[in-house]
Amino acid sequence: MSGVRRVFYDTEFLDDGKTIELVSIGAVDENGEEFYAVSTEFNPDDAIPWVRRNVLNQLPSPSDPVWQSRERIRDEFWKYLSATDGQLELWAWYAAYDHVALAQLWGDMRSLPRRIPRFTKDLRQRWDDLDNPALPEAGGARHDALTDAKHNLARWRTMEEHRGGRLWIGSA
């Protein structure tokens, strides 16, 4: 597909069953262009112990400039996404919550810029559709949004190699 920019991303978030609160977002496209930000607006006291151990403990120092308001994250992520013309494809592993966390940067779904897809393609589902080929091991710190986004790109590339010339529904 020419003219398509595939962006592989991951979010870390707090989830209480009613609200998904963004902690961090990391993204990388096929050309290696990266984005990473941590929200200054989540309450770490709301995190369950697992999130404290596996997510919050890996965040950079609060003095790091990646810590930003949700408004600034939204504006900077929009610049990142709209840096090139053409169609955008968003990809994530278990994408549903990631898409909600991303979309909520703009408020409700109606406020999402038209250029941003209304859904994120799910790598985990694609993996099932391809009969679960072997995927690369995660490198670096798991549950770090940028590290996981890079791992999503590696997974996608491996699945593309596995797919070879086979027709996959949703591809051109």
Is residue 33 within 8 A of residue 115, CB to CB? The reply is no
Instruction: Please indicate if the annotation marks 98 as binding a ligand.
Output: no
Cα–Cα distance measured from residue 61 to residue 30, given in angstroms and rounded to the nearest whole number:
28
Give counts: helices (H), strands (E), the chain: 5, 6
Is residue 156 within 8 A of residue 89, CB to CB? The reply is no
Cα–Cα distance measured from residue 51 to residue 70, given in angstroms and rounded to the nearest whole number:
20
Query: Could you tell me the two tokens for 70?
Result: 């949700």
Residue 118: CB atoms within 10 Å: 10
Known binding positions: 10
Known binding positions for Mg(2+): 10
